[in-house]
Amino acid sequence: SELRQQLVSLQKGVTNDEHGWTRLITA
């Protein structure tokens, strides 16, 4: 579920910066 949420967030463009993506991975 957590991994799926990361992919969904990426698709939605929630992560505009590299730091945002890193946060999702480490969250």
d(C-alpha 24, C-alpha 1), whole Å:
13
User: What is the CA 26 to chain-centroid distance, rounded?
Assistant: 10
* The pLDDT of residue 21: 62
* The pLDDT of residue 13: 62
* The pLDDT of residue 17: 60
pTM: 0.34
* The pLDDT of residue 18: 61
Contact between residue 25 and residue 10 where contact means Cβ atoms under 8 Å apart: no
* The pLDDT of residue 5: 81
Residues of the chain predicted below pLDDT 70: 11-27
Concatenate the DSSP letters of all residues of the chain into one string: -HHHHHHHHHHHT---SHHHHHHHHH-
* The pLDDT of residue 24: 63
